[in-house]
Structure 1
Amino acid sequence: MNKTLLFGGLTPLHELFIKGAVESLGYKVKFLPQPDSRSLMLGREFCNRGMCNPTYYTVGNLIKFLLEESKKGIDVEKEYFFVTVGACGPCRFGMYEAEYRHALKEAGFKNFQVSILNQSELSSEGDFELTPSLVWNLVKAVWTGDILRDLGYQLRPYEVEKGSVDEWLSETSGKVYEALKSGAPIKELLSVLKEQRRKLEGITFDYTRIKPVVSVIGEFWAHTTESEGNYFIHRWLEEEGAEVRPEPIAGWIDYQLFIEEEKTKRDLKVKGFSTERLKRLLAVKSMALAFRAFYNLLRSIFYFRPKPLPSQKELAELAKPYFDYFVVGGEGHLEVGKHVYSIIHKKAHMVLSVKPFGCMPSTQSDGAQTRVLSDYPESIFISVETSGDSEVNVKSRIQMKLFEAKRVAEREFYELLEKINVSKRAFELAFQSGELRKPFIKLKGNFVGTAVKALYANQTSVSPFLEIEQWTTST
């Protein structure tokens, strides 16, 4: 095919890697710029009324690009085709394909080609074929993007030289892109990551900074995008003094496979045994295990610092008293399960759920969250809706909860200091050591914050500095 494939809707890091992965199969590929307020306006102009923000932003973003290209004299209907994900289901995501086609027609691009990757049936429609090679290439791209994005958000709040982690990420992403584009085998991709890990070990970090950990969950697009679509919420939280826990896209794929496995088990039980159902069950289970194994392999390159994928079965069990996991659509039970998981496993001081205005599945989960907060009153939780024009209101509400989270993070840290009889000054002196300023120091303990985990895991290193600090104070 001579046309250039267009796609968009994920983070810039993931889109760069997906571009390389698809180019390795011989396609010409271009990802769209991140959506902005102009995209939203065009989406609202050409889409039907009553759609959700992700529709307006993503559809409007494509139309904005096509209009800009048309002004350059390019026949976009001959030059490009667009690939997006489709599905059926109770939320408006099932209407995306029809909405793209309707809006494109209204904008004057009635013959523009749209190809669909159906996530429900693991199939494709149009000229872009969903082959095993494509699936594997996409997994390599997305999983690697998840790992590097996770590392960036974990390390950036503690970097001594501002911008050093982003500089490393920029260099690393370029090398990973080239490896994916060339169709490099797994061994070569892992070698690239190992080489870049060694460079990361040359960057210094200050783990004495006490930061609240904020888990960002919610509707898939709203909590994943890094654009005006969610007010650049991840980076803004960092600027406000938080350590952010983004959700990996791999977790969404893991969720889809889990639901498919549970549905097939139910069919075997209710409809009876069939060879076809058994084959499907084994195929889905094998895929889930293989994908998880590969994710953990990538984590191992960075000494397992990137967070593991939580058990989908455990998330479903945690959500069960509040939300049945067979009620699908949007994130389904995941918002509730992730919230409870963060509380009982001490994964975050605060949970922020971001969703589009009027998202039906998110509204359902918000109703269930009321009961969760009743059962877990210690949780700091806030749910916000993004509409494209409520940024000040949304951020001011988040700031109030973030203030609470900061106080909890400080209390957690100082309680450990008191318990092990260590002063803050001794802790700071100890962590000026080169060995304790590396990216992969020991972090452990039944705590949430990075600083308190660093103190607990390395408290023996603090003792000599405690004696120096006490001697200096007494003299």
Structure 2
Amino acid sequence: MNGEPSLARRLLVGGLGAPHDQLAAAAIANAFAAADNGTGVSTLVHTWGALDEGAFERGRSVLPRGQCAPVLYTTGALLRTAEKIEEEFGEATALSLLSVRSCGPCRYALFEPAWERALSRAGHPPPRVVAVEQSIDGLRELVGDEGMSTLLDALLVADVLREVLHRLRPRVEEVDELEGAAAAAVLRIASAIESGTAPIEALAEESGFHRHLERCAPTPLARVLILGDPWSMHVEGDGQLNLPRVLARAGAEVEIPPFALWLNYVLWQMRGAPYGRSQAPTEARISLAQSLEAELRTRLAAASRAAGLGGFELPDMDELTELAAPHLTAGVRGGYGHVEVGLAVRARRERRAHLAISVKSFGCMPSNGVSDAIVPTALDGAIPFLSLEVSGDGEAARESRLMLRIASAVEAAAADLADARGPLDPHEGRGAAFAGAAAASDALAGTFEAGPRTHACTLACHVYHASSRSLAMGSGAER
């Protein structure tokens, strides 16, 4: 690769956590195996490992003060993995990194210099960095066109798997058993991808990994919209304060946009109106971006069908731009920019949540400016708002604030259910409505979307539509 084959022999894939890192690494390993076939050159692909508190503390120990949380988490995880490779091969090794190069775009989160500084101090040569979201040419050079296609499908499969977990956590009796089954399924899917199976086909083979789990009785769940800077919104685990797990324990379901939304935002910027001194995009560039956006939606839909997942779609980027326009111009870049605001306004308009939480990395100046002032204004009091900071400190204080808000959200969900029961006959209609709600809740495709959203509470939506059908049938019989 550019006369430097050693760089391709140690590729570290990471930056988002499980399952995205695992499946992306499997797709890259498969592409390398095809490229290396018959050359006698072996390419080793590793993930960066867990983006946990240990990684955060390691990053904090080697970098200057004032770095944002994504830089600290990723640097610490990268160093740990580089050291393991050094122990295995007996010497510091030149590395290539496939990751996200920045959080946003962001003028402040300088991931690459931080990684170079940390690796240099550990005795490693400067790494070659290929960014998932910013370097199509670099990706094509690394894995080829077919490898890029496989990588995209692997990332979308990871989005779908994560969504399955989000939907099921508050609806199964044993969450630990669910997460264990999901982790095992991810390993099997990764192994299949690395062996040459198409990612969506591998997902279809494992789509039943959760079906043996005992479901909870239908209950009104508070619904929480997670917003934030791109990294904090999409990463899994400590970097996101483990919010999906914490909220599920407290009786809430979550809506978190998929990582594909970030890719869609990058494509939108290719065709978006110019800002500052940037030049207007050419017709060819606009056409290319639109075709890639359509392909992204098509592939995400295919992955969702493979998992039996209904109602999982990308928000329309142009609609989000229009919704955000009264509050924040689309020309302001940094973090998620107007996208976060558009998601908040959409949630208010469509009654999608009882609570909006903006999770922010410590030091994220672009996104903090959006969440601390603009998003609450856009919500206009219709949805309570809470901003939480990922800093590695203050966990007890954060959880206390969160639980206070969740208690109110759970009460609001119960009120939604009471309102949805309103049209029901107290003796006849109620049983039929709950039977329909229970059946829908037991099917993965029905746990999130039950026709038009009439209430933020999903169970209330099921009951409302079931009661409406019951009343309509009764009226027809009377006539």
**Which band: TM-score by shorter chain?**
0.7 to 0.9
Name 1:224's counterpart in structure 2.
234
Separation in structure 1 between the aligned mates of residue 211 and residue 362 of structure 2, nearest angstrom: 42
- In the TM superposition, residue 118 of structure 1 has moved relative to its aligned partner by 6.8
Separation in structure 2 between the aligned mates of residue 101 and residue 192 of structure 1, nearest angstrom: 36
- 1:373-384 map, 5 Å: 373=379, 376-384=380-388
| Equivalent residues of 1:205, 1:439 under 8 A apart | no
Name 1:11's counterpart in structure 2.
17
- In the TM superposition, residue 115 of structure 1 has moved relative to its aligned partner by 2.1
Name 1:399's counterpart in structure 2.
403
- In the TM superposition, residue 328 of structure 1 has moved relative to its aligned partner by 0.8
| Equivalent residues of 1:430, 1:462 under 8 A apart | no
Q: Which amino acid aligns with 2:373?
A: G
Q: Secondary structure at the match of 1:92?
A: coil
Deviates most, 280-289 or 42-51: 42-51
- In the TM superposition, residue 228 of structure 1 has moved relative to its aligned partner by 2.3
Name 1:287's counterpart in structure 2.
292
Separation in structure 2 between the aligned mates of residue 68 and residue 457 of structure 1, nearest angstrom: 55
> Quick one: structure 1 residues 251 and 171, their matched pair in 2 at CA, closer, same or farther if it must change by over 3 Å?
same
Q: Secondary structure at the match of 2:31?
A: coil
Partner residue of 2:451 out of 444, 469, 475:
444
Name 1:20's counterpart in structure 2.
26
Q: Which amino acid aligns with 2:182?
A: L
Separation in structure 1 between the aligned mates of residue 318 and residue 396 of structure 2, nearest angstrom: 38
Separation in structure 2 between the aligned mates of residue 68 and residue 120 of structure 1, nearest angstrom: 28
Task: Give the count of matched residue pairs.
Answer: 449
Partner residue of 1:82 out of 84, 91, 97:
97
> Quick one: structure 1 residues 425 and 171, their matched pair in 2 at CA, closer, same or farther if it must change by over 3 Å?
farther
**Corresponding position: 1:415 with 2:419:** yes
Name 2:224's counterpart in structure 1.
214
- In the TM superposition, residue 53 of structure 1 has moved relative to its aligned partner by 1.0
Deviates most, 172-181 or 333-342: 172-181
> Quick one: structure 1 residues 284 and 62, their matched pair in 2 at CA, closer, same or farther if it must change by over 3 Å?
same
Separation in structure 2 between the aligned mates of residue 302 and residue 390 of structure 1, nearest angstrom: 38
Partner residue of 2:302 out of 297, 301, 307:
297
Name 1:261's counterpart in structure 2.
271
Q: Secondary structure at the match of 1:243?
A: strand
Name 2:389's counterpart in structure 1.
385
- 1:59-458 map, 5 Å: 59-70=75-86, 74-78=90-94, 80-86=95-101, 90-93=106-109, 95-105=110-120, 107-117=121-131, 119-120=133-134, 122-124=136-138, 129=142, 131-160=144-173, 162-163=175-176, 165-185=178-198, 189-197=199-207, 205-206=215-216, 208-263=218-273, 277-365=282-370, 366-373=372-379, 376-422=380-426, 426=431, 430=435, 437-441=442-446, 443-445=450-452, 446-458=454-466
> Quick one: structure 1 residues 251 and 434, their matched pair in 2 at CA, closer, same or farther if it must change by over 3 Å?
closer
| Equivalent residues of 1:208, 1:427 under 8 A apart | no
Give CA deviations for 1:393-448 in whole Å, capped at 9, x if unaligned: 11111112111211111100111112323479837973697786343448234222
Give CA deviations for 1:205-230 in whole Å, capped at 9, x if unaligned: 34521111112120112122223223
Q: Which amino acid aligns with 1:444?
A: G
| Equivalent residues of 2:359, 2:389 under 8 A apart | yes
Separation in structure 2 between the aligned mates of residue 20 and residue 60 of structure 1, nearest angstrom: 22
> Quick one: structure 1 residues 453 and 11, their matched pair in 2 at CA, closer, same or farther if it must change by over 3 Å?
farther
- Provide the TM-score with structure 1 as the length reference: 0.84
Deviates most, 236-245 or 247-256: 236-245
- The CA RMSD over aligned residues, in Å, is 3.2
Q: Secondary structure at the match of 2:151?
A: helix
> Quick one: structure 1 residues 52 and 271, their matched pair in 2 at CA, closer, same or farther if it must change by over 3 Å?
closer
- In the TM superposition, residue 461 of structure 1 has moved relative to its aligned partner by 9.6
> Quick one: structure 1 residues 169 and 385, their matched pair in 2 at CA, closer, same or farther if it must change by over 3 Å?
same
Separation in structure 2 between the aligned mates of residue 118 and residue 156 of structure 1, nearest angstrom: 29
- In the TM superposition, residue 304 of structure 1 has moved relative to its aligned partner by 4.8
Query: Structure 1: which 4+ aligned runs deviate by more than 6 Å?
Result: 431-436, 460-463
Separation in structure 2 between the aligned mates of residue 298 and residue 456 of structure 1, nearest angstrom: 30
Q: Which amino acid aligns with 2:114?
A: E
> Quick one: structure 1 residues 363 and 5, their matched pair in 2 at CA, closer, same or farther if it must change by over 3 Å?
same
Q: Which amino acid aligns with 2:378?
A: V
> Quick one: structure 1 residues 179 and 462, their matched pair in 2 at CA, closer, same or farther if it must change by over 3 Å?
farther
Separation in structure 2 between the aligned mates of residue 49 and residue 420 of structure 1, nearest angstrom: 60
| Equivalent residues of 1:117, 1:130 under 8 A apart | no
- In the TM superposition, residue 250 of structure 1 has moved relative to its aligned partner by 0.3
Q: Which amino acid aligns with 2:451?
A: K
- Provide the TM-score with structure 2 as the length reference: 0.83
Name 1:472's counterpart in structure 2.
none
Separation in structure 2 between the aligned mates of residue 161 and residue 460 of structure 1, nearest angstrom: 33
Separation in structure 2 between the aligned mates of residue 291 and residue 384 of structure 1, nearest angstrom: 31
Separation in structure 2 between the aligned mates of residue 271 and residue 329 of structure 1, nearest angstrom: 18
Name 1:43's counterpart in structure 2.
59
Q: Which amino acid aligns with 1:301?
A: A
- In the TM superposition, residue 255 of structure 1 has moved relative to its aligned partner by 1.0
| Equivalent residues of 2:225, 2:353 under 8 A apart | yes
Give CA deviations for 1:110-159 in whole Å, capped at 9, x if unaligned: 4142323273453329x962632332122101111111211221123112
Q: Secondary structure at the match of 2:400?
A: helix
Q: Which amino acid aligns with 2:283?
A: L
Q: Which amino acid aligns with 2:63?
A: C
- In the TM superposition, residue 289 of structure 1 has moved relative to its aligned partner by 1.0
Q: Which amino acid aligns with 1:57?
A: Y
